[in-house]
Amino acid sequence: MKGAINWSDYYKTDPEKITALKSAFKANKIYAMALMPVRGSQGFRKLDYEYTEKELNVKEVMDKLEESHFNVFGLVIKDTDGACMWDTKIGWNPINRDILGEFCDVGKDRNIRIMVSFTSMNDAYQGVIHPERVSIHGTTGKKSGIYYKKGEISTHNEGEMRIDLPEGVSFKDYKKKVPFLTEKIDEKRGKVRGARGKGFIPTTSFMCPNSKHVDYLLKLVREVVNQYSISGFFADYIRYDGAFKDLCCCDRCLDKFRKNHGTKAKIIKSSEWYDFKSDTIAEYAQKLQSVIKKTTKDCTSGWFCLPGPKKMFTRKRLGQDWTKLSSILDVSSPMEYPYLMGTRDDGWYWGKLGNFFYWYFIRNMKKRIHEFKSPILAVTNSVECNAIEMLKQMRGFDFGLGISVFKYFGTTDDQWLALKKYAEEEIGLENLT
Ligand SMILES: [Zn+2]
């Protein structure tokens, strides 16, 4: 197969875990497409509740997936804004719909399983209503134009999503609905990844993983797995904020750290501190696993990880220990988005940059894939790249179980054709939908 890498030369996993996964998804190969309902109908740079509430057509989405032979649908039921896309008594649902319920209903008689993605520590809404649960900076500094002070909460301008006011609604009124909205506006669309959005800039918060935010999350998880018949529950943002090195230095975290590692252990820069961070995240993963499995054995648990250098990034900043987390949760899902860094469609330089990141992401996986103790199902992007780049990623990052593609809106007609052809000719689905 063109461009495929024989990943079994680099990594082995428990065959029983693979069998369990295949039977949970009732497929030999997983072919998944993801949808982020709150990000509107174009790409993922907008936060658009009006679109979700009034226009998102669930049946149309499922028909399109079926036509393209996808056998798994990944729905982001909670994005970084914090909105809950289901009928919830505990969380915040700003739209008048039960999106998850609608997809479950429409998907019932189709050969498409539903998995959900659940943003955990990053939560803009909770950051506003529970500032006492937001993680705290341990130093004073400046990062990518953001100034922060020791002791302050880590609520900052959101990098990715922008908001347009709905027609005829004033800023003041809209802020009542979306309390994390700010009056700052991004006017121009840039080519650098973090500068592609246009519109009002919201804030976002990384919550403290030792705060009551975790209890809140677990209640939401219980509610979802209880109410809906889903095949997979994947935790996203199961980590600290990757932009800063000094989180979280709240009293809760410092007390717990000293209790576990002694009063002499150094905060922020010590191997004890990094262990503490990854243990904290693993503790959440363990609780998540228990809640899911106690409710239903049929639901596969998973987590999304950001590829990158182990020491500098995943250990020191994110607190994601791949071995620990993949020993707890059923499936690991590395987010392999090299062509989000640059696409040939934006010009020669951006194409080169994308290619460089593709090479780097592959190399990084070759080096680190042995750290995973579970099956791996990578997610790669169709949005903001072209069909050739998309296919290259799909072939490169299929670690044997299939591939997930991010995301439904933003995929071009060219890409939809390529996706269908890939399903028919390459991925190896046993029965096409
Ligand atoms: Zn904390």
**Centroid of ligand 1 to alpha carbon of 324 (angstroms):** 20
**Centroid of ligand 1 to alpha carbon of 144 (angstroms):** 23
**Centroid of ligand 1 to alpha carbon of 379 (angstroms):** 30
Task: Say which residue the tokens 């940059």 belong to.
Answer: 353
Nearest CA to 77 out of 40, 116, 121 is that of 116
**Centroid of ligand 1 to alpha carbon of 362 (angstroms):** 34
**Centroid of ligand 1 to alpha carbon of 58 (angstroms):** 39
CB 93 within 8 A of CB 85: yes
The maximal CA–CA distance of the chain, rounded, in angstroms, is: 61
**Centroid of ligand 1 to alpha carbon of 134 (angstroms):** 7
**Centroid of ligand 1 to alpha carbon of 247 (angstroms):** 7
Q: Cα(304)–Cα(331) distance, rounded to whole angstroms?
A: 9
The residue ranges of DSSP E strands in 88-198, in sequence order, are 113-119, 141-143, 146-148, 155-157, 181-186
Q: How many C-beta atoms lie closer than 10 Å to residue 8's C-beta? A: 10
**Centroid of ligand 1 to alpha carbon of 311 (angstroms):** 22
pLDDT at 64: 97
pLDDT tens readout for residues 96-153: 899 999 999 999 999 999 999 999 999 999 999 999 999 999 999 998 788 999 999 9
Q: How many C-beta atoms lie closer than 10 Å to residue 141's C-beta? A: 13
Q: What is the DSSP string of 318-386?
A: I---HHHHHHHSSEEEEEE-GGGS--GGG-HHHHHHHHHHHHHHHHHHHHHGGG--S-B--EEE-TTS-
**Centroid of ligand 1 to alpha carbon of 126 (angstroms):** 15
CA distances from 150 to 138, 188, 316, 412 (A): 5, 32, 18, 45
Q: How many C-beta atoms lie closer than 10 Å to residue 179's C-beta? A: 15
pLDDT at 337: 96
CB 385 within 8 A of CB 343: yes
Q: 3-class SS at 299?
A: coil
371-398 core/surface letters (b: 16 or more CB in 10 A; e: else): bbbbbbbbbbbbbbbbbebbbbbbbbbb
Percent with pLDDT over 70 in the chain = 96
pLDDT, mean over the chain:
94
CB 217 within 8 A of CB 77: no
The single-letter code of the amino acid at 49 is Y
The single-letter code of the amino acid at 193 is R
Q: Cα(390)–Cα(396) distance, rounded to whole angstroms?
A: 10
Q: What is the DSSP string of 233-287?
A: EEEES-S--TT-SS---SHHHHHHHHHHH-TTSPSSSSHHHHHHHHHHHHHHHHH
pLDDT tens readout for residues 172-219: 999 999 999 999 988 776 656 555 567 899 999 999 999 999 999 999
**Centroid of ligand 1 to alpha carbon of 265 (angstroms):** 17
Percent with pLDDT over 90 in the chain = 86
pLDDT at 328: 98
pLDDT at 190: 63
* Mean pLDDT, residues 264-285 taken together: 97
Q: With bands split at pLDDT 50, 70 and 90, how would you rate the model's confidence at 431? A: low
CB 205 within 8 A of CB 243: no
Nearest CA to 206 out of 253, 174, 238 is that of 238
**Centroid of ligand 1 to alpha carbon of 231 (angstroms):** 32
pLDDT at 359: 97
The pair of three-digit structure tokens given for residue 323, joined into one six-digit string: 């071995």
pLDDT tens readout for residues 362-404: 999 999 999 999 999 999 999 999 999 999 999 999 999 999 9
Q: 3-class SS at 181?
A: strand
Q: 3-class SS at 310?
A: helix
Domains of the chain: 7-135+211-425 (3.20.20.80)
**Centroid of ligand 1 to alpha carbon of 203 (angstroms):** 19
The pair of three-digit structure tokens given for residue 332, joined into one six-digit string: 């690991």
pLDDT at 340: 93
User: How far apart are the two ends of the chain, measured CA to CA in Å?
Assistant: 22
The pair of three-digit structure tokens given for residue 4, joined into one six-digit string: 């495929």
**Centroid of ligand 1 to alpha carbon of 226 (angstroms):** 29
Q: How many C-beta atoms lie closer than 10 Å to residue 342's C-beta? A: 24
Q: Cα(79)–Cα(72) distance, rounded to whole angstroms?
A: 19
Lowest average pLDDT, out of 3-12, 14-23, 389-398, 410-419, goes to 3-12
* pTM as predicted: 0.95
Q: How many C-beta atoms lie closer than 10 Å to residue 147's C-beta? A: 10
For the four alpha carbons of 81, 377, 351 and 308, in that order, the dihedral sign comes to: positive
Residues measured by CB to lie within 5 Å of ligand 1, the ion: 208, 210, 248, 250, 252-253
CB 277 within 8 A of CB 265: no
The radius of gyration computed from the CA coordinates of the chain, to the nearest angstrom, equals: 21
